[in-house]
Amino acid sequence: MAKSCGRAPVNGFAKARKRLDALTGPMEPSILHDVRRTVRTNLSKIDELNKEIRERMVAHSQGKMSETYDLYDYALQKRRGFDLWAKKLRGIVDPPDNVVALRR
């Protein structure tokens, strides 16, 4: 586990991007923020998640008042959200066999 254990912002994106490009080939002109935007957009399609939890899942700032007075970490709610996101993503990447592609 990382030394900071959640006490510091995530970093090292440049290294991760180089590793990803080495595995998949360059994905230019995409940027890692595109992944965050795609995830956040698709989280909105999960009715069971409220906006606050969706925002916290992608580490968006909650505003000064909330950050000052609400010190709860929402770990259980975010875990549930990530489980729901994993289920949705599985359905996108590996759809059920009974799905038929339609022509445009």
| 66 lies in some domain | yes
CB atoms under 10 Å from CB of 13, counted, come to 12
What is the band of 4 on the pLDDT scale with cuts at 50, 70, 90?
Answer: low
pLDDT tens string 12-24: 777 877 887 888 8
Is 5's pLDDT higher than 70? Answer: no
Q: Which domain holds residue 43?
A: 13-93
| Cα gap 28→49, rounded to integer Å | 32
For the chain, the domain total comes to: 1
| 77 lies in some domain | yes
Give the mean model confidence (pLDDT) for residues 69-96. 92
pLDDT tens string 19-61: 878 888 877 777 767 888 999 999 999 999 999 999 999 988 8
| 7 lies in some domain | no
